[in-house]
Amino acid sequence: MGQPLLSFLALIVTLGVLITVHEFGHFWVARRCGVRVLRFSVGFGRPLWRRLGRDGVEYVIGAIPLGGYVRMLDGREGEVPAGSEAQAFDRQPVARRFAIVAAGPLFNFIFAILAYCVLFSSGVPQVRPVLSAPPAGTAAAVAGFQEGDEVVSIDGEGAGSLDLVLMRLAELAKPGGTLEIRVRDQYGQPANRSLALPEDFAANGDMLSTLGLLPYRPRLPAVIGGLIAEGAGAAAGLQVGDRVVSVDGERIGDWEQWAARVRAHPGQAMQVTVEHDDVARTLTLIPAVRDTPRGKEGLAGVHAAVPQDLADSLRVVVRYGPFEAAAAAVTKTWEMSAFTLRMLGRMLVGEASLDNLSGPLTIAQMAGQSAAVGWSAFLSFLALVSISLGVLNLLPVPVLDGGHLAWYCVEMVKGSPVSEAVQGVGQRIGLALLLALMGLAFYNDLARLLGP
Q: Say how far apart CA 334 and CA 330 lie, in whole Å.
A: 6
Contacts of 335 (CB under 8 A, 6+ apart): 167
Determine contact, residues 210/293, Cβ cutoff 8 Å: yes
Q: 106 in helix, strand or coil?
A: helix
Q: Say how far apart CA 312 and CA 396 lie, in whole Å.
A: 45
Helix (H) or strand (E) holding 210: helix 207-211
Smallest Cα–Cα separation from 452: which of 214, 287, 237? 287
Sign, CA torsion 379/114/337/409? positive
CA 137 to chain centre: 31
Q: Say how far apart CA 161 and CA 164 lie, in whole Å.
A: 5
Pick the catalytic residue from 23, 79, 171, 180: 23
Please give the torsion angle defined by the CA atoms of residues 301, 304, 309 and 312, in that order, rounded to the nearest 10 degrees: -30
List residues bridging with 279 in a β-sheet.
276
Q: Say how far apart CA 267 and CA 265 lie, in whole Å.
A: 6
Smallest Cα–Cα separation from 360: which of 437, 445, 447? 445
Smallest Cα–Cα separation from 230: which of 329, 299, 129, 304? 299
Residue 199 falls in the annotated catalytic set: no
Per residue in 60-91, is it b (16+ CB within 10 Å) or e — as a string? bbbeebeebbbbbbbeeeeebeeeeeebbbeb
Q: Supply φ then ψ for residue 153, to 5 degrees.
A: -155, 160
List residues bridging with 179 in a β-sheet.
195
List residues bridging with 10 in a β-sheet.
none
Per residue in 38-58, is it b (16+ CB within 10 Å) or e — as a string? ebbbbbeeebeeeeeeeeebe
- Type of residue numbered 321: G
- Type of residue numbered 382: L
How far, in Å, are 161, 184, 371 from residue 131 at the CA level? 11, 10, 28
Q: Which residues are catalytic?
A: 23
